[in-house]
Structure 1
C-alpha cells in the first residue's frame, strides 16, 4: 500500500508541475489553423500533424511514431494525416489506446470572436481559441498524463500505450474505418479512451455513457424550370422557397418536437437539470421558449432532433422580385440511442417525400451516417476510470448522455469488439465548441490531466487477464 500511495503521490506532483508546459504546447497547437473541411488549405492540417508527432516523440516513450493516412473508401482520395504511436505492453500488462483529434472547426464569422480565433488568449481562467477545447486539449491531456507517468514512475513502466490522433474528425472521419482496418494490429487495445466529450460542469467530471447517432444530407427542392418574375406569376406559381418553407415546417410539431413517424425515442431516466441551467449553458435568452416535451435532458440525450444547418438560396444582398426555381438545404438529424442511423434516415426521407407540397421535385445527396453509442458500464475499466476521476477532481463523477454524436465509435466497436471504450473529455458546458469564442476551462484541464495520469498508473499495476 505504501508503494502504491507513493507512486500516486508522485503522479499527482508530476501532473501538477507539468501543466504550464502542457498549456504552452496547447497554445502552439491552437495557432495552427488545422481545418480539414473541403475548400480549406490542407497544409495547416499537415503542419498540425507534424507538430503533434514531434510532441509525442519528445516524450521518449514510444517505439514507433508515424504520420499516416488512409484511403477514403470508394475513392482514390487519401484522408487527412493522423499521428499513430505505439508502445508494447510488458509482463502481462494491458494496453490502452488514447484517441483525440488535431483538426478543428472553421471559425465562422470572425467578428463574433472577442480575440483572434487562432491566437490563444487567457481570460478569466479560460484559454480562448479555436481547438483550445475541441480537441487539441484532448491531445495535450493525453500527452501531459504520459509525461507525468514518465516523471513519476520512470520511462520503463509496463503498460502498453497506443496513440491515435486523427486529422479529420470535424470533417466527418471519412477515412477512419479504413485507417482502423489498415492499422488494426498497432491500435488493438484492452481499453480505449476517447477524449472528445465533456463534463457535467466545470467542477464535476463525467463519463459519457450514451451518444445520439446522426444522419446528415442535402435536399434540393425544385418547382420551376427557370426563374420567373414574382409580380407577373406570384400567387399562381409556387416558387421553391415557398415549397421548402412549407415542407421543412412539417418536420416539427407546434412544441418544436420532431414529428417524423418512424423515429424512435430511448426510455431512460435523466438527472435533474433546470431550465435556468439550460438558458445559461446554451445562451437561450429570456422570452425564447425551450422546445420539445419531457425532461430537458431526455430531449437532448434520448430523443431525436432535426436541424437545418445550411441553405443555398438567393442572398439578402442579391434579392430581387423573382420566383426562385430551386433551393437546397442541409439537414442534420440526431438519432436516439438504439435506432440505426440509416433506418432513421429512411424515415426522414419518406416523411419529406410524403409531405412535399405542390408536387415539388425532391433530390437527396451527400449522405452521412453515424450510429448511436451505449457504453457497457459493467467493465473493470469503467470502475478504474470512475475511481481516477474521483481522485483527480475531488468530486464523484457522474454518468451522462450527450446529445452530440461521435460516429466513429461504432467503427471502434466493430474493429475491436473486446475493448472497453471510455468516452471522456476536457470540455465544460461553457466551452462553446464549434462556436465563436471556444475556450478551455483551465482548472478542468488540470483535473483532467491528473485523472488520466492516475488512470494510467492504475492500469500499469494491473494484469491484462484480471
Structure 2
C-alpha cells in the first residue's frame, strides 16, 4: 500500500457515509459541560464510544478523574516501537448548550442533518467532528499499512474545554511521562477560509476586564436632577473611550503587543482575510492603523467591549442611573506583558479623570505559539501541499483561544494545529455545522500527515 492508497481510503470513508454515521452517533451524546447535570453524558461519551473506538486501533486507554470533580479525561496510548517518533493529539468531547428550538427548520442539535453541503449538529465543528476526523484518518492509515502506523500515538480527550479547561494543566502535569511525545498535532478552530487548508502554531490569550461605576443607589429623576448629578452611564462610556477610540484603536500602550517581527509579517503577507457572502464583511477603517487585516487578527491585540448595562433598556425610566457596568476583553498575542495590564488600565483611567471606575480582572487564559523555525512547520505544510495541491496558510496563532500553552509550555512540545472547520460554521450558536467538501479534504489531509509521520519513523528506525 502507498500514501495515495491511504488517502483514497480516507476519502472513501467519507463518501460511503461511514464517517457521518460515526459522527451522528457522537453528536447524540448531550455533552453540555456548562450544564450541571451533564456528568453522565460526558463520562458515557468517553467510556461507551471513544474507548471502544481506540481499542479497535490497538490503543490502551485509561480514564482520568478530574482533580476538581469536573468531567473526566481519556488517555489513549498506542506504542509500536520506542525508536519511532511519537505524536500527541488532543480533542474535547464537551460542547456548548444545544439551544434547542433556535436552529433553522427546528433541526435537532443532537442529530446530524445534511442540507446541501452542510452537516448540522452540535459538536460537528467544535470539536467532535474534528477529533473524529483525526481518529478516522489514523484508522485508514493503519489499515493501509497492514495494521501498523509506523509511529507511536497518544491522545488526550478532555470534557471541560467549554468551561475553560480548568484541570487540563494539572492532569497533564500529573501524567507528564504518559504524555511524552515528539510532536503535538491536533485540530480545533476554523481554517482561514473554507477553500484554504490552514496550519496555526498557537493561540492568542484572553483577559476579561470588568469596569464598574457605582455613584449612588438607585436612579434619580432626570428633570429634577439633570445637570447636577453625574450620570454613571456617561462616565463609563467616556472611560471606555479613553481606552479605545471610535475606530477600535487602543489608546494605551500597555494594551499593545511588541512590534510585529519581520518573520511574522512575511508569513502573513500571503494570508488574505476574505469573508464569504454569508459571513460578516470586514469593517472599513477599523482597527490599528498600518496593519493588514491578517496582521490585526493574528499578530496584534484587540480590546473589545463584550457587554454593557445601565438602567433598564427594555423599559427606560426618566431617571439618571446611579451605576453602570461593562465587560471588556483583551485578546493578546505572545509577548504582551499581560501581568501589567490591569494596573496600567487603572492608572490610565485615574489620570484621565475616572478614579470612580473600578477595574477588576477576570477569566484569563494564556497566549502561546511554536517558533516558526521549528522543522515540524515546514514538514506539515509540505505534507498538506502534497495531499491537496494547495499551499496551506500558516498562521502564527489562531485568532481565538485554546489551551495550547498546556502543551507548548507545560509539556514543552512543538504544537501544530490543523483545523477542519471554517469561519462561518456557527460554532457556539444555533446551526453549528461542518462543510462536506472540507470534511472530505480534512480526512485526506490527516491521512497524508499520519502516513508521512510513519515515513519519518521508517527513516529514524
- Residue equivalent to 1:212: 204
Once superposed, what is the RMSD of the aligned Cα atoms?
Answer: 2.9
Please list the CA deviations of residues 133-184 of structure 1 after superposition, one character each: whole Å capped at 9, or x if unmatched: 1211211112111211222113344421111112122221121111111221
Among candidates 434, 438, 442, match of residue 436 of structure 2: 442
Match of 1:120 in 2: 112
CA distance in 2, matches of 1:39, 1:235: 48
1:305-344, Cα deviation, whole Å (9 max, x unpaired): 1112234544433543344333333221111332143334
Q: What residue number does 2:247 align with?
A: 255
Partners of 1:415 and 1:159 in 2: CA distance: 23
Corresponding residue number in structure 2 for 1:304: 301
Distance 1:409 1:402, change over 3 A: closer
For structure 2, list consecutive stretches of 5 or more residues without a partner in the other structure: none
Closer/same/farther in 2, CA of residues 109 and 227 from structure 1, 3 Å limit: farther
Q: 1:238 Cα shift?
A: 2.3
The secondary structure found in structure 2 opposite 1:170 is helix
Q: Is the 8 A contact 1:340 1:372 kept in 2?
A: no
Give 1:131's aligned residue. Answer: 123
How far is the alpha carbon of 1:125 from its aligned partner?
0.8
The superposition leaves residues 72-102 of structure 1 with CA deviations (integer Å, 9 ceiling, x where unpaired) of xxxxx33322222112241510111111212
Structure 1 pair 143/463, CA: closer, same or farther in 2 (3 Å)?
closer
Partner of 1:200: 192
Secondary structure of the residue aligned to 2:89 is: strand
Cα distance in 1 between the residues matched to 2:243 and 2:19: 46
Deviation of 1:449 after TM superposition, in Å, equals 1.6
Question: Within 1, Cα distance between the matches of 2:115 and 2:34?
Answer: 29
Summarize deviations over 1:370-415 as a string: whole Å, max 9, x none.
3323322333433332232123323222212455233521221222
Once the two structures are overlaid, the 10-residue window that deviates more, 108-117 or 42-51, is: 108-117
8 Å Cα contact 1:219-1:364 kept in structure 2:
yes
Query: Structure 2: how far apart are the matches of 1:58 and 1:153?
Result: 18
**CA positional deviation for 1:346:** 4.1
Deviations 1:269-308 (A, max 9, x none): 2336668x247474138xx645112211121122211112
Query: Counterparts of 1:253 and 1:18 in 2: how far apart (Å)?
Result: 51
Within a 5 Å distance, the mapping from 1:91-110 to structure 2 comes to: 91-106=82-97
**What's the offset of the Cα at 1:48?**
3.4
**Pair 1:69-2:65 in alignment:** yes
1:83 paired with 2:80, answer no
Residue 187 (structure 2) pairs with residue 191 (structure 1): no
Partner SS, residue 181 of structure 1: helix
Shift in CA distance, 364/163, structure 1 to aligned 2, threshold 3 Å: same
Distance 1:240 1:432, change over 3 A: same
Contact 2:207-2:331 at 8 Å conserved across structures? yes
Aligned length in residues = 449
Per-residue CA shift, 1:238-291, capped at 9, x if unaligned?
Answer: 24322222222222223221222212344242336668x247474138xx6451
Q: Does 1:30 align with 2:27?
A: yes
Measured in 2, the distance between the counterparts of 1:411 and 1:306 equals 24
Instruction: Map residues 273-352 of structure 1 onto 2, 5 A cutoff.
Output: 277-278=274-275, 280=277, 282-284=279-281, 289-292=284-287, 293=289, 294-352=291-349
Q: Hey, what's the Cα distance between the residues in 2 that align with 1:29 and 1:255?
A: 43
Q: Is the 8 A contact 1:213 1:373 kept in 2?
A: yes
In 1, are the aligned partners of 2:78 and 2:152 still within 8 Å (CA)? yes
C-alpha spacing 1:112/1:313, structure 2 compared with 1 (3 Å) = farther
Structure 2 residue aligned with 1:395, among 383, 387, 390?
A: 390
Q: Secondary structure at the match of 2:208?
A: strand
* Cα distance, 1:215 vs structure 2: 1.1
**3-state DSSP of counterpart to 2:401:** coil
Residue 375 of structure 1: aligned partner:
370
Separation of aligned partners in 2, 1:231 and 1:273? 55
Q: Distance in 1 between matches of 2:142 and 2:458?
A: 21
CA contact (8 A) 2:100 2:109 kept: no
Q: Aligned equivalents of 2:69 and 2:97: distance in 1?
A: 21
Tell me, what secondary structure is at the counterpart of 1:378? Answer: coil
Match of 1:422 among 401, 406, 416: 416
Q: Distance in 1 between matches of 2:37 and 2:230?
A: 37
Q: Displacement, 1:352? A: 4.1
Counterpart position of 1:57: 54
